[in-house]
Amino acid sequence: MSKKNVLIVESPTKARTLTGYLGREFEVYSSKGHVRDLPAKELGVDVDNDFTPTWVVRDRRVIGSLKKAVTDAERVYLATDPDREGEAIAFDLAELLGNGRGDRFARVLLHEITADAVRSALRSPGKLDPHKVEAQRTRRILDRLVGYQVSPVLSLVLAGRRFEGLSAGRVQSVALRFICDREGEIQRFVPQPFWEVRLLFPTQPEFTAELSERITDRSELDSLHEVLTEAQIRVTGVAEEDVKRRPSPPLITSTLQQTAGAELGFSPRRTMQVAQGLYEGVEIEGKAVGLITYMRTDSTRVSDAAVSEARDFVRKQYGKDYASPRPRRFKNKRRSQDAHEAIRPTTVALTPEEVRRYLKPEQLKLYELIWRRFVATQMADGLWRRRKVEIEAAGRSFRASSSWVVFPGFTSVCPVSSLEDEGLPLPDSLSPGQSLPHPEVDVREKHTEPPGRFTESGLVRKLEREGVGRPSTYAQIVSVVQERGYVRREGGSLRPTLLGQAVSSFLEEYFPETVEEGFTARMEEKLDSIQEGQAARLDVLRELYSRLERRLEKVEDVLAGGEKPFQVLTDVDCEKCGAPMTVRVWKGGLYLGCSNYPSCRSTRNLPPTVPFGLGEDRIELAEALAQADEAPHIQCPACGQPMDLRHGRYGRYMSCPNCRQTSPVYTGVACPSCGAGELVERFAKGRGPFYGCDQYPSCKFTLPGQPAEPCSSCEKGVLYEAPRHGRRCSNKRCPSRG
């Protein structure tokens, strides 16, 4: 009778790929993710008994089928992902399936899923890493302690009930605070005017020189403009220099998410889902092939064999001049665990062109990004030449420059953005001491701008820089703050909702550790220390819980005394008693309640996406609510009675008090697309409020901002309030849009 070998992975897709590689030698099964976890409806951690956790089986049917599969197996290989989570899954499988025969189990680390790599890993299996398992267990207990003990208090304070469903996760709360702090910076920012001065010279070819300094005083500008009209202008210096541009390091998890967001428009979650599919295997000519290495990594390290293959490929495809003089290595960041290689193609021979017909469009885009980025690392630097000219006029220094490509190097494979002065006209004949003809003076007034809101990829960059979270958690953090309703996407940027602002403010006041990046980063470092065998689980849990317990007792004592520990005051006054109203939560929605509750029980509805300002000690809502209550006076089409304006979960609408007929809110602006309809307010989950034609679905014209009037410049579009650009025309070819 032949020996039976069983291989267990966590993903069904990966199981199918490995079955194709291993044939009848192995039976391959999937655990379908984690097999044990803390109980769903209770804390599951005995804080009085050294934080002893209670682990429960997630799906007994899965465990039952796996037990049956390994009963007569001589050898069981656990090939779950090579990270903390994968190690914990492997540990649980060994415990649940061992049945007193734990010596049959072996740990296999698959950093890439190709036939050769898999067989090589199976020839040299290892043992489970108990330190990795301890680190994962500690992280899970930490998250449970914060989530299950702070969240009920948060719900009680903001909603009046402990189980309203508000969440205060250990890492998500820090991300939320980053977004809220940035919003505060933006709202407090006061734009300052400044002026840029350019000289446009009528030479052959014409060129422009820019004042080296920024002018911030209007009187200084007027004085300079006056003297420039009569000033003698001459060239004071001409110089040329080489500009080298070096390839970026190979991608790691954070830079993959950032680059895919910037270049492909992928969210972090989508990026990781597509990358997981490329890692687990894609069917090529009837066989499943893993196209990239493991995609959860913080290391830029690459194997010698992969470097050698890439360099040979570059020499063959582009010539020896395009290969870097020596193998290029990149230094890891200080906090890097260096557990896995950088993200790279399993073989550069499978070019994007070779696999194009086997991949979905999004898979091809991401694979091409990874392939080009990796191949570029072993290519020569790109070389540009820059010519710089210094010009003196009225005692001020002006500069002009132009650059051009000398040798493209790695940019032949991995294109980069043009230099600011690339391709700009500049006469070759300019020389020091040369007088220049009188120029046209071009003055442009500009204003300083506030910092931009975080994009999803920008938030990942911030989390990585501050040491918050780890490669395996970035995508989840970015997603969960949006799923909780704390943050919404607006034009590609992340903006806190009123609920998110309230949650962050409460946590910052009463549980500062949950939103303080330094504390969270130290916790991540301690988890790394546990993984390296240099720290103990109990010490880390005691440190966190001692602080958390003191904070919880403080809030509970205030609540027990009948006081209100925290209120989100607004600039809206109660219509009954005149006291300021506060933001309250009810069934996932927000409303205003009187701060004198329970003596005054006055309430007021809040629109779901009402804009708000951040005052010194309260939320500014009065102006936005006044605008939200403005609506056209229309009669019910069914009974003729005047309709009332209502605010629902999905925006404003009109409702008849007599027959309950409803209608969207009309803007009074005709649709510029079909000409027959009128633009009305609409709302979409994930998009928020927008404006569309009432003839939908026959007319699908939409606008992201409130329409105002037909455009007089082009007579084809309508003017509307664009969220990021102010008032503009909907017609992209309108002269008013420049």
Q: Which residues pair with 689 in a beta bridge?
A: 683
Res. 735: pLDDT tops 70: yes
The Cα-based distances of 480 to 153, 171, 499, 560, 686 in angstroms read 20, 10, 14, 32, 13
State the average pLDDT over residues 412-418.
Answer: 95
Q: Which of 29, 77, 279, 294 is labelled catalytic?
A: 294
* Banded pLDDT at 335 (limits 50, 70, 90): low
Backbone angles phi, psi at 329, to 5 degrees: -120, 155
Question: Any catalytic annotation for residue 474?
Answer: no
Asked if residue 134 lies in contact with residue 531, where contact means CB atoms within 8 angstroms, the answer is yes
* Banded pLDDT at 100 (limits 50, 70, 90): low
Q: Which of 124, 120, 143 is nearest to 51 (CA)?
A: 143
Asked if residue 47 lies in contact with residue 108, where contact means CB atoms within 8 angstroms, the answer is no
Res. 581: pLDDT tops 90: yes
pLDDT for the residue numbered 334: 66
Contacts for 628 with CB less than 8 Å, ≥ 6 apart: 607, 610, 647, 652
Angle at Cα 410 formed by Cα 406 and Cα 411, nearest 5°?
70
Name the average pLDDT for the chain. 91
* Cis peptide, bond prior to residue 247, ω within 30 of zero: no
Residue 61's CB: how many other CB atoms inside 10 A?
A: 9
pLDDT for the residue numbered 338: 66
Torsion of Cα atoms, 324 then 329 then 331 then 332, to 10°: 130
Res. 557: pLDDT tops 90: no
The Cα-based distances of 154 to 446, 482, 504 in angstroms read 44, 18, 10
The pLDDT tens digits for 718-730 are 999 887 677 899 9
State the DSSP code for 555: H
Res. 238: pLDDT tops 60: yes
pLDDT for the residue numbered 1: 41
CA pair distance 111, 34, nearest whole angstrom = 19
The pLDDT tens digits for 284-333 are 988 888 999 988 888 899 989 999 999 999 999 999 999 999 999 998 87
State the average pLDDT over residues 103-117.
Answer: 88
Backbone angles phi, psi at 575, to 5 degrees: -70, -20
State the average pLDDT over residues 373-388.
Answer: 97
pLDDT for the residue numbered 381: 97
pLDDT for the residue numbered 395: 92
Asked if residue 75 lies in contact with residue 177, where contact means CB atoms within 8 angstroms, the answer is no
pLDDT for the residue numbered 489: 87
Model-level pTM? 0.83
Of the two residues 450 and 610, the one the predictor is more confident about is 450
pLDDT for the residue numbered 652: 85
CA pair distance 393, 199, nearest whole angstrom = 10
The pLDDT tens digits for 688-709 are 789 999 999 999 999 999 999 9
CA pair distance 214, 197, nearest whole angstrom = 8
